[in-house]
Amino acid sequence: MPDTEKNTAMETISSSLLGEQYYKITHKSGVTLLLCPMKGFSTAYALFGTNYGSMDVTFKTPEDKDFVEVPAGIAHYLEHKLFENEDGDAFQRFAATGASANAYTSFDKTCYLFSCTQNFEKSLEILLDFVTRPYFTDETVQKEQGIIGQEIRMYDDNPDWQVYFNLLKALYQKNPVRVDIAGTVESIAEINKELLYRCYNHFYNLHNMVIAIAGNFSVESVLEVADRVLKSAEPFQTERRLPEEPDEVCQRKIETELEVATPMFQMGFKLKGGDTAENMRSQILDEIIVEIIAGENTPIYRELYDRGLINATFSGEAMAVRSLLAVTFGGESREPETVYKAILERVRQLKKDGIDEKLFQQCKKATYGRYIGMFSRPEAVASTLLLSQFTGVEMYSLVESLGNVTREQLELRLKNQYHEDWSALSIVRPALN
Q: Where are the alpha helices (DSSP H) in 68-181?
A: 74-82, 90-97, 120-131, 138-156, 159-171
Using CA atoms, how far apart are residues 59 and 195, in angstroms rounded to an integer?
13
Task: Mention every residue, 6+ apart, whose C-beta is less than 8 A from residue 42.
Answer: 117, 216
User: 63: burial class by Cβ within 10 Å (0-12, 13-18, 19+)?
Assistant: exposed
Using CA atoms, how far apart are residues 58 and 175, in angstroms rounded to an integer?
11
Whether residue 103 contacts residue 112, with contact meaning beta carbons closer than 8 Å, is answered with yes
Task: Mention every residue, 6+ apart, whose C-beta is less than 8 A from residue 139.
Answer: none
Length of the chain as a residue count = 433
Report in angstroms the alpha-carbon separations of 217 from 38, 91, 127, 247: 8, 21, 15, 47
Beta strands 315-321; 423-430: pairing state:
unpaired
| Coil, strand or helix at 26 | strand
Beta bridge pairs of residue 255: 427
Q: At what angle do helices 357-374 and 395-403 cross, to 10 degrees?
A: 160
Report in angstroms the alpha-carbon separations of 306 from 279, 300, 301, 302, 337: 35, 10, 8, 6, 17
Using CA atoms, how far apart are residues 211 and 382, in angstroms rounded to an integer?
9
* Candidates 79, 125, 144, 332; catalytic one: 79
Work out the angle at residue 223's Cα, subtended by the Cα atoms of residues 222 and 229, and round it to the nearest 5 degrees.
90
How many angstroms from the chain centroid is the CA of residue 189?
26
The DSSP result for 310-358, as a single string, is: --TT-EEEEEEETTEEEEEEEEE-S-HHHHHHHHHHHHHHHHHH---HH
Q: Look at residues 365, 372, 373, 329 and name the one whose alpha carbon lies nearest to residue 347.
A: 329
Q: What is the DSSP letter of 176?
A: G
- Is residue 79 annotated as part of the catalytic site, yes or no? yes
The residues annotated as belonging to the active site are 79
